Amino acid sequence: MGYVVEHQVRFHETDGAGVVYFANELVICHSAYEASLAAAGIELGVFFKAEAIAYPIAHASIDYRRPLRCGDRVTIHLTPTRLDDSSFEIQYHLKLRDTLVAEAVTRHVCISVADRRRCPLPTEMERWLTRWGDSPSGEEQ
């Protein structure tokens, strides 16, 4: 199923060669992650304040296929997948028109802020995973 959002590349996201600076494509992916949380009804101010639970990124990678330039309207297709009771992975496919320009992955671990140890994903994140993740049976959710 997944979540889809558009992003228009801004001048400040580009480098001296006029293409998106490599690290900024991960920033674009993270913006899509934030938008998917908000679309699922998660209050971002509370989520990112991380008073009790946090979701640090344990791994990130991105493969670039084609350059993006200022003014390009890229579509980000985001699909989260549960890895275990305390972690999940998000796959991102960035497309310009119908052409794949980049693929990225981020892996997140749910931890208790107090002791920095893994803890089970809370109900709101379970709902987010169900809403935007792939259905195990292949059926619409």
pLDDT digits (tens, 9 = 90+) for 97-116: 999 999 999 999 999 999 99
* Residue 81, domain member (yes or no): yes
Average pLDDT score over the chain: 94
* Residue 42, domain member (yes or no): yes
Question: Does residue 138 carry a pLDDT above 50?
Answer: no
Catalytic status, residue 84: no
* Residue 116, domain member (yes or no): yes
Question: Does residue 137 carry a pLDDT above 90?
Answer: no
* Residue 8, domain member (yes or no): yes
Total domain count for the chain? Answer: 1
Residue type, 68: L
**Which residues form the domain of 34?**
3-132
* Active-site residue (options: 15, 72, 85, 134): 15
Kindly compute the dihedral angle of the four CA atoms of residues 64, 26, 38, 116, in this order, to the nearest 10 degrees: 130
pLDDT digits (tens, 9 = 90+) for 27-73: 999 999 999 999 999 999 999 999 999 999 999 999 999 999 999 99
* Residue 140, domain member (yes or no): no
* Residue 29, domain member (yes or no): yes
Q: What is the pTM of this model?
A: 0.91
Q: What is the CATH number of the domain that holds 72?
A: 3.10.129.10
* Residue 11, domain member (yes or no): yes
* Residue 68, domain member (yes or no): yes
Question: Does residue 80 carry a pLDDT above 70?
Answer: yes
Kindly compute the dihedral angle of the four CA atoms of residues 45, 47, 52, 56, in this order, to the nearest 10 degrees: -120
